[in-house]
Amino acid sequence: MSEIGVMLPDGSKKMLQTGSTVLDLAKSIGAGLARNAIAGKINGKMVDLQAEIGDGDRVEIITEKSPEALELVRHSTSHLMAQAVKMLFPQAKVTIGPSIENGFYYDFDVDAPFSPDDLDKIEAKMRELAKAAIPLSREEFSRDEAIRLFRDLGETYKVELIEDLDADKVSLYRQGDFIDLCRGPHLPSTAFCKAFKLTSIAGAYWRGDENRKMLQRIYGTAFTDKKELDEYLARLEEAKRRDHRRIGRELDLYSFSDEVGAGLVIWHPKGAMLRTILEDFERKEHLKRGYDIVLGPQILKKELWQRSGHYENYRENMYFTEIDGQSYGIKPMNCLSHMMIYKSQLRSYRDLPLRYFELGTVHRHERAGVLHGLLRVRGFTQDDAHIICMPEQLDAEIKGVISFVNDVMGIFGFDYEMELSTRPEKSIGSDEDWERATNALRSALEDSGRPFEINEGDGAFYGPKIDIKLRDALDRRWQCATIQCDFTLPERFDLTYVAADGEKKRPVMVHRVILGAIERFIGVLIEHHAGNFPLWLAPVQGLVLTVTDNQVPYAKTVYGELLEAGIRVQHDFRNEKLGFKIREAQLQRIPYMFVIGDKEVETGTVTARYRDGSNLPAMKVAELVDFLGREVKSFK
C-alpha cells in the first residue's frame, strides 16, 4: 500500500498510509494524543478528525488545551442545545447557532416563548445527550439534495439559507437523529461537551431584519473544563450585581420612558450632575491641549449629507425631517459643522493645526433589538473633535491624541487595548488616500510602543481608525475612544490652506473621541465602580446627618458652609434613628456621611464616616473641606 509524508508542527516528517485521517495521525503518534484529540489543522485550516490527509500536508492535532479548542467546543455545544430543543419541542424550527465571544447562541422559531423552566429542561437533556457520547459526523450533499432534506423535515429556515448559498455542495453534520447545516468542523462526539451552562433567553429577528419574524434566542456558554466554567459564572453573577441599569435605578441617576421613545435617556438630578462633572472635566482637558470649543446645529440640509457620503453610506442610521419643503438630516456625527467652520475663512499654513472640540449631541437609528441601557442608545453626546492639519503634521497630531487617551484613561484608572481597523467593503475615497491614512495610523501606533491588533475591514466608511478598548474591573472590553484618519472629506468639501509657497493645498482631518459617547462611558463607569464612584466623580459627595432634632440648627450651618466651599452635599434631618439614615446613605453609595451629635455641636466639629463604615477623627469644617479637596486631587 502506498504511503504519504506529512509535516508536523515541530518540522519533523511522519509517514502514513494513503487515505489516512487526522485521527489516524494522532493514533500513530500516541494513544494518549488520540484520546485527547478533538480536531486538526491541515495547512492552517481547521478540520474534523475524520478529514483525510494528503501527501506533503502540514498537520497539527488540536486538543482541549489548544487555543482553538474553546470556539470549537462552544460551536458544537450550540448544536447539542439545538438537538435537545428538537427532542423536547419537536415543532421548533432551527435557524442558526454560532459561537460568540463569551459562549454561543441558537435561534429557534417556536409557538410560545421559552421560560426559565424550559431552560432547565433543555440543559438537563443536553447533559443526558453529552453523557451518551453521540458521534458527530460530517456528510456532504448536493445543494438540491440538502434543500429536499430540510424541506421534508419542515426546516424552512435551513432551506432559505441553502437557497442563498452560491455552492453546488453543502456540508451537514449529523448527531443521532439530529442533522444540521454547517461548515464545521466539530468535536468528534457530544462527550467533549462537558462544561456548559444556558444563561439567558432573548428575542431576535430572523437575519436581524425587523420586518421578519421574531425568534427565540437561547444564550449559553461552554468551556473545556468545569473550573473555568465556574469562574466565568461567578464573573457573570458579579456583572449582574454591577449592572448599570439596576444601579442607575437604585441611585436615581436616569430613566427611560416608552412615552418619550426607546433609546432616549432622561437624566435625573444626580445623573445630570455626574454628566456635568464629566463634561466640565472634558472642557478643561481639551483647553489645556490647544482645542477650540465649537458648537454646531442639530440638523443640516440633506445635500450636505449627500456631499459627505453619509447619505449613501450611513442613511439607514439617520433620521430625516422636512422644513419648508427642504429635507434635513438630524446629525449622527459632528464633522460637517466643523468643516464648515474651517471653510468660513481663508486658512494659512500658519493657522494649522486647528483643533475643534464639541460636546455634540447626535442621534442614530439603532435597531430596537440592540438597545441596551446607556450602552446602546439613540440619542447621545460625544466628546467629539476634529483636527485639521497639514499632512506633515499628521503624525504628531495622531500621537498627541494617543497621549491624550493615555492620560485620561490613567485618571479614570482604566487599562486599555488598541486595534487598527482597516478599509471596509462599503467606503469612499481613493486607494491612495486609504493607504496614506492607514500607514499614518500604523506608524503612530508602532512608535507608541504599545501592542495593537489589526481589525480587517472595520474602519469608518471615510477612513481607517484606531479603536481603543478599555478594560473594566471584571476584565471586560469596552469600545470608547477612537482616532480616525481622513483624507477623503477634506477633498469632498474642498478644504484648503495657503502653503508657504503661496499655493493652495489640501489638509488632512483627524476625527477623534476620548471618552466616546458620554452615556456609554457613564454606563461603563457605573459597572466598573459598582456605583461606588470616587469622590471627585460622585454626584453627591457627602450627606449631613443629625442624631436628634437638637442638632438641626448647627447642622444647617455646617451644610451651608460645605455648599459654599463647593462640596456637593445633601442633608438628612429627619427624626429617624441614626443607623437607619446611615444604611440608606450607604445604599445610595454616598462617599461620606457627616454625622453631627451633641458632642459635635459642643466642639464645633464634624465626624466624617466613610461609606465602608470607617470613621475619621472629628474635625472643623475648614479642616474637612481641606481633607476632601486633597482626596479629590489625588484622583485627578
Report how far residue 621's alpha carbon sits from residue 604's, in angstroms, rounded to the nearest whole number.
8
DSSP code of residue 618: P
The mean per-residue pLDDT over the stretch 17-44 comes to: 93
553 backbone φψ class: left, alpha, beta (φ>0; ψ -120 to 50):
alpha
Residue with cell 459564572: 233
Q: Report which of 225, 233, 238, 241 is spatially closest to residue 199, judged by C-alpha positions.
A: 233
Which pLDDT does position 636 carry in this prediction? 62
Which pLDDT does position 498 carry in this prediction? 97
Q: Which of 79, 275, 363, 386 is catalytic?
A: 386
Which pLDDT does position 158 carry in this prediction? 95
Q: Which of 270, 511, 568, 611 is catalytic?
A: 511
Catalytic annotation present for 372: no
Q: Which fold has domain 267-296+332-529?
A: BirA Bifunctional Protein; domain 2 (3.30.930)
Which pLDDT does position 1 carry in this prediction? 59
Catalytic annotation present for 465: yes
Residue 305 has pLDDT above 90, yes or no: yes
Q: Which of 48, 107, 118, 384 is catalytic?
A: 384
197-241 per-position pLDDT tens digit:
999 999 988 988 878 899 999 999 999 999 999 999 999 899 999
Which pLDDT does position 535 carry in this prediction? 96
Which pLDDT does position 426 carry in this prediction? 85
Q: What are phi and psi of 461, to 5 degrees?
A: -70, -15
596-629 per-position pLDDT tens digit:
999 999 999 999 999 998 999 999 999 999 999 9
Q: Which of 182, 335, 480, 485 is catalytic?
A: 335
The mean per-residue pLDDT over the stretch 588-596 comes to: 96
3-state secondary structure of 542: strand
Residue with cell 456528510: 139
Q: Name, in order, each residue with C-beta under 8 angstroms of 490's C-beta and a sequence gap of 6 or more.
A: 339, 388, 506, 507, 508, 509
Q: Which of 275, 465, 520, 528 is catalytic?
A: 465
Which pLDDT does position 463 carry in this prediction? 87
The mean per-residue pLDDT over the stretch 116-122 comes to: 95
- pLDDT band at residue 634 using 50, 70 and 90 as cut-offs: confident
The domain over range 69-241 is classified in CATH as 3.30.980.10? yes
The mean per-residue pLDDT over the stretch 83-88 comes to: 97
- pLDDT band at residue 287 using 50, 70 and 90 as cut-offs: very high
Which pLDDT does position 420 carry in this prediction? 94
The mean per-residue pLDDT over the stretch 16-35 comes to: 93
**The domain 542-635: what is its CATH number?**
3.40.50.800
CA 197 to each of CA 114, 126, 225, 432: distance values in angstroms, whole numbers, following the listed order: 16, 10, 12, 49
**The domain 3-63: what is its CATH number?**
3.10.20.30
Q: Which of 382, 393, 484, 541 is catalytic?
A: 382
DSSP code of residue 378: S
Residue 417 forms beta bridges with which residues? 469
Report how far residue 270's alpha carbon sits from residue 540's, in angstroms, rounded to the nearest whole number.
7
| Lookup: cell for 403 | 497621549
CA-angle at 228, arms to 104 and 471, nearest 5°: 75
Residue 377 has pLDDT above 70, yes or no: yes
Catalytic annotation present for 511: yes
Catalytic annotation present for 75: no
The mean per-residue pLDDT over the stretch 22-47 comes to: 93
HSE value, Cβ hemisphere, 13 Å, CA-based, for 487 = 21
Which pLDDT does position 318 carry in this prediction? 95
Catalytic annotation present for 306: no
Q: Which of 74, 364, 376, 609 is catalytic?
A: 364
Extents of the domains making up the chain: 3-63, 69-241, 267-296+332-529, 542-635
| Cis peptide, bond prior to residue 185, ω within 30 of zero | yes
pLDDT > 70 in the chain, percent: 100
Report how far residue 491's alpha carbon sits from residue 487's, in angstroms, rounded to the nearest whole number.
7
Mean per-residue pLDDT over the chain, rounded:
94
Is the CB of residue 546 less than 8 Å from the CB of residue 552?
Answer: yes
Catalytic annotation present for 384: yes
- pLDDT band at residue 460 using 50, 70 and 90 as cut-offs: confident
416-430 per-position pLDDT tens digit:
999 999 998 888 888
CA 61 to each of CA 25, 51, 70, 76, 628: distance values in angstroms, whole numbers, following the listed order: 8, 12, 15, 18, 60
Catalytic annotation present for 382: yes
344-370 per-position pLDDT tens digit:
999 999 999 999 999 999 999 998 878
- Give 572-601 as a DSSP string: E--SS-HHHHHHHHHHTT-SEEEEE-HHHH
